[in-house]
Amino acid sequence: MTHRRLPFLPLAAVLLAAAGCSSADAARSVTVPAPPAEEKALCLALHKALPESVAGESRRDPEPRSELTAGWGDAAIVLRCGVPRPAGLQSSQADGVEVNGVSWFSEELEDGARFTTTYRRTYVEVTLSDRFTDMGPLTDLAEPVARAVPPRFARTP
């Protein structure tokens, strides 16, 4: 009985393992915002107020680790604080929702949706995977956002 050596099998196994790792890492990687100092202070306060669970998903922060970002589930819910004003917010066709006193600008994405706060002293962005068809995650995040990031304008009674 002879054994034939198949030199490409170890290489294929290594490539498959690397591909599996890199795609998971890419899904958990986000760009960390760089807000001005005053806005960064608000984001740090928000980071401390964020819940350990959102919409039944456990806290799993994305890479690189930062007090300006947070995540829940396997990149199902990602929050970034101190992001720039969304370009689409300029449009008269902009869609928005209000959840528990926090106004959000909404944008549809290929694989979910992105919501960015409006009328707050810094912009807070929440990206949801397409698994979420309701406002559950925004409901869980509205209270800490409202507490840590004050309105940009005072409301009149």
Is the residue at 18 inside a domain?
no
Write the pLDDT tens digit of every residue in 25-37.
Answer: 444 789 999 999 9
> Torsion over CA of 79, 43, 65 and 60, rounded to 10 degrees?
-40
Residue 90's pLDDT is 78
In a domain, 49, yes or no: yes
Which is more confident, 9 or 146? 146
In a domain, 56, yes or no: yes
Q: How many domains does the chain contain in total?
A: 1
Distance of CA 30 to the CA centre of its chain: 8
* 19 SS3 class: helix
128 lies in which domain range? 32-148
Each residue's pLDDT tens digit, 46-85: 999 999 999 999 999 999 999 999 999 988 999 999 999 9
Lowest mean pLDDT, pick from 12-16, 73-77, 103-107, 111-115: 12-16
Question: Quick check: is 96 in a domain?
Answer: yes
d(CA 108, CA 45) in angstroms, rounded, equals 28
Confidence at residue 4, expressed as pLDDT on a 0 to 100 scale = 39
DSSP letter at 79 equals E
Burial class from Cβ neighbours inside 10 Å (0-12, 13-18, 19+) for residue 26 reads exposed
